[in-house]
Structure 1
């Protein structure tokens, strides 16, 4: 009897919920799939079952329904450049949606990346900003150049004939991980020293990225792994070895600095801990906050730039005309390739600059929409007044492939940036979002591409998996 009563109330509640979401919810008038209006598992289906094809599905839906679609019971996705800037560029009244950020930042719950309060996140970013200012970047440029030189030596020693091949994707991520760890902590991960760039840290970060959808939709699995005994973690998930190795390194360095802050004066150069251990006008950060901020900086600092370098190298080698223009420009200003060329000189090269901007347009960064929650005082988004509490977002892919700003958007064409006024396309170039380390990323790209294209003679090796 009680069992039947329970089933009756369960089905009645489900029926009422379905009717509400379809006909009475504040978003019921927005177009989109009926199943998406009913359940958030619509997104999970395309991310997990359909192999990460959510954005491709959104493209189809926007073609059918226009610039605004309902993609969840309480979620809207936009394909409108003004909406993008209303949400992310000027959207000071919107806060981060905790669900996806808690999943993304499951390894670093006390980092600024997942702070939902914009003011709190800004305070933490302000602590880090001095280390990533242009002044700081140029003063530490030598640390970037040292790692690039090491990569070139590794390539010259091990991949110096037409019969040898190297995955530049892996090589670049090894490079950028060594750069960001050396730059931020004055202690390099030294992944470039690992044969075949096979260090567990790099392998662990790669495995983490391949399982990102599981982290987003089933974060409790990762939470369990982080809290389980270390031996059990490595038995169940051997790819966590790299994460645990990195965590142990941060813990050792942070504990040493907390125990004796005077040791900061002995490190080779300024680090993030110079700014985080004794924050001005703020409470000292906990050990967990210090470790989480360090982890996020390494993860974000290695992946985005490494991916951009891989994509740029591919297109430079795929199109001989582009490669020749880059070589010609670099040869003219850099006659002795054995003597370093500094960042300030490289960023004055018009075609190299145009090439890097086009690379960033193609490399995208975080493709998944970064959701924000509309507040009571949020102004119109894309010309529409959105109900407070609604989750809104727009993938940067739609911004970077907008044909009104980037004609023939799926063609790799650096010449599109060689025009007198690039203010509008630059505003729409959002690969790095609004993070604190943009100056460092630009410096890395100029130095890496400058050195690779001037000092090496690479050839594209076509395989069945190569995108052509």
Structure 2
């Protein structure tokens, strides 16, 4: 009996391999044989190589062309028309549950994880008022002044220096938690920016590929005895710490809802718990949304601030032009300057756009399923799937990296050059500028992110004089060799700065 079952299993695998190679609807598209045969190709570059998938896809496009097969049912593209057909205008495509329900198994009840566009639209509608342009226009983040005070108090001596990754993540974590939850962990108060939550968020991103390819781990972590689970799976300690802290916060609010009316401003909990004419999200859904906002809200702006500061300090011309423009617009630096005033400054705006182009945002391809009514993708009419033993669904995707580093739109794409945004028409660049994605699933927090970047860079380059420390252990450039794909970008090396006497 066992021999028969084993024979049937091997026969099925053999037939499946032959089908994928010679009879599959995507068989005509070029790519590695292993990618056509098995999902293990992605697993290898995600986990074994360690964040290496997008770098490998770059090489595959150079070898095979603009549309390549990177999985048994998956095509990846590298040109703008395809990106816009998938994400900007792709109303007939839905998120791939196979990817999202595994990679974000720990936040499956968040709007980000919803594959059904209608469900996502409803959840987004509850939260979007908190992130409208009107809501963020007059914000003045006191946490930025707090960071600058920490720089001045603890890092202004000649023999001290600041590791900027942790500094920026501490800042953005305090901002996003204060804004979304009206409760802040005060990570900026911890010496050397070493608050545990900073490590928790970083480790959560680093664990994504384990969750993506072994989603059962998330179920074990969520449902098993925590001490035993963390002893067996110590890599998930960061996620468990983040989760338990947010659970305590939510329990406190559910026990005493009046807390929501006593805070200084509206919170995401209030919008979710007081829906108009809709069912209130569950406690689990509240937790999942809180995890998304804490992780995503601290990472995108933190990474962009980190990248932009490096290039401003590396290039004296960029740093000088920022300071000159800010000094003219902001003569009394002790008097706050609002986001609405800062966004009118042309060079600062160009600098922020170039920073977002370089820092990318989500770098991993976001897979979408081709439906029966889906029009052409990048000029190609693709099959939506076959009703057969192997249940194919055609999946299409494209990393934002290929938009931001497209030399036809951004000449010399690996040169950090804010002036590209100040020369002539920039409509095509803006059309292909996708740090927050595009279309109906565009990042709900993009208005908040823009305001943070203007205020962070505005205050930093107006009030503090930083100097880049260069040695063999620091990054020379944010080059492809330094870039890793852990859904968001992570860098192999970092950099440090010294804090000098503030400019007049």
Interval containing the TM-score (normalised by the shorter chain): over 0.9
Higher RCO (CA-CA < 8 Å; seq separation 6+):
2
Once residues 270 and 413 of structure 2 are traced to their aligned partners in structure 1, the CA distance between those partners, rounded to angstroms, is 43
Confirm whether residue 387 of structure 1 aligns to residue 386 of structure 2: no
Asked if the contact 2:103–2:213 (Cα under 8 Å) also holds between the matched residues in 1, the reply is no
Tell me by how many angstroms 1:152 deviates: 0.7
Q: Deviations over 1:53-79 (max 9, x none)?
A: 211211111112111001111010001
Q: How does 1:147-158 map onto structure 2 within 5 Å? A: 147-158=143-154
Match of 1:455 in 2: 463
Confirm whether residue 423 of structure 1 aligns to residue 409 of structure 2: no
Match of 2:46 in 1: 47
Match of 1:221 in 2: 217
Match of 1:102 in 2: 101
Once residues 191 and 239 of structure 1 are traced to their aligned partners in structure 2, the CA distance between those partners, rounded to angstroms, is 22
Q: How does 1:97-136 map onto structure 2 within 5 Å? A: 97-136=96-135
Tell me by how many angstroms 1:256 deviates: 3.5
Asked if the contact 2:200–2:242 (Cα under 8 Å) also holds between the matched residues in 1, the reply is no
Match of 2:448 in 1: 440
Tell me by how many angstroms 1:19 deviates: 1.3
Asked if the contact 2:104–2:212 (Cα under 8 Å) also holds between the matched residues in 1, the reply is no
Once residues 104 and 158 of structure 1 are traced to their aligned partners in structure 2, the CA distance between those partners, rounded to angstroms, is 39
Confirm whether residue 21 of structure 1 aligns to residue 20 of structure 2: yes
Tell me by how many angstroms 1:248 deviates: 3.6
Asked if the contact 1:400–1:406 (Cα under 8 Å) also holds between the matched residues in 2, the reply is yes
Match of 1:278 in 2: 274
Q: How does 1:43-442 map onto structure 2 within 5 Å? A: 43-139=42-138, 141-142=139-140, 144=141, 146-237=142-233, 240=236, 242-388=238-384, 389-433=393-437, 434-442=442-450
Q: Deviations over 1:140-165 (max 9, x none)?
A: x13x2x00011111111111123111
Once residues 36 and 248 of structure 1 are traced to their aligned partners in structure 2, the CA distance between those partners, rounded to angstroms, is 38
CA RMSD after TM alignment: 1.6
**In 2 relative to 1, CA 280–345 (structure 1 residues): closer, same or farther, beyond 3 Å?**
same
Q: Tell me which moved more, 153-162 or 361-370.
A: 153-162
**In 2 relative to 1, CA 7–233 (structure 1 residues): closer, same or farther, beyond 3 Å?**
closer
Once residues 441 and 18 of structure 1 are traced to their aligned partners in structure 2, the CA distance between those partners, rounded to angstroms, is 46
Unaligned runs of 5+ in 1: none
Asked if the contact 1:95–1:373 (Cα under 8 Å) also holds between the matched residues in 2, the reply is yes
Confirm whether residue 466 of structure 1 aligns to residue 474 of structure 2: yes
Asked if the contact 1:86–1:381 (Cα under 8 Å) also holds between the matched residues in 2, the reply is yes
Match of 2:388 in 1: none
Tell me by how many angstroms 1:3 deviates: 4.4
Unaligned runs of 5+ in 2: 385-392, 477-504
Asked if the contact 2:307–2:359 (Cα under 8 Å) also holds between the matched residues in 1, the reply is yes
Q: Tell me which moved more, 241-250 or 322-331.
A: 241-250
Q: Tell me which moved more, 194-203 or 435-444.
A: 194-203
Asked if the contact 2:104–2:211 (Cα under 8 Å) also holds between the matched residues in 1, the reply is no
**In 2 relative to 1, CA 402–26 (structure 1 residues): closer, same or farther, beyond 3 Å?**
same
Asked if the contact 1:31–1:69 (Cα under 8 Å) also holds between the matched residues in 2, the reply is yes
3-state SS in 2 of match to 1:76: strand
3-state SS in 1 of match to 2:125: helix
**In 2 relative to 1, CA 215–275 (structure 1 residues): closer, same or farther, beyond 3 Å?**
same
Pick the structure with more helix per residue: 1
TM-score by structure 2 length? 0.89
3-state SS in 2 of match to 1:459: strand
Once residues 330 and 203 of structure 2 are traced to their aligned partners in structure 1, the CA distance between those partners, rounded to angstroms, is 39
Q: Tell me which moved more, 115-124 or 223-232.
A: 223-232
Number of residue pairs matched by the alignment: 464
Match of 2:492 in 1: none
Once residues 248 and 64 of structure 1 are traced to their aligned partners in structure 2, the CA distance between those partners, rounded to angstroms, is 47
Asked if the contact 1:204–1:239 (Cα under 8 Å) also holds between the matched residues in 2, the reply is no
Once residues 75 and 286 of structure 2 are traced to their aligned partners in structure 1, the CA distance between those partners, rounded to angstroms, is 35
TM-score by structure 1 length? 0.96
**In 2 relative to 1, CA 264–3 (structure 1 residues): closer, same or farther, beyond 3 Å?**
closer
3-state SS in 1 of match to 2:261: helix
Q: Deviations over 1:249-305 (max 9, x none)?
A: 433333343344333221121111221102112111111111111111111100010
Once residues 14 and 233 of structure 1 are traced to their aligned partners in structure 2, the CA distance between those partners, rounded to angstroms, is 34
Q: Tell me which moved more, 207-216 or 378-387.
A: 207-216
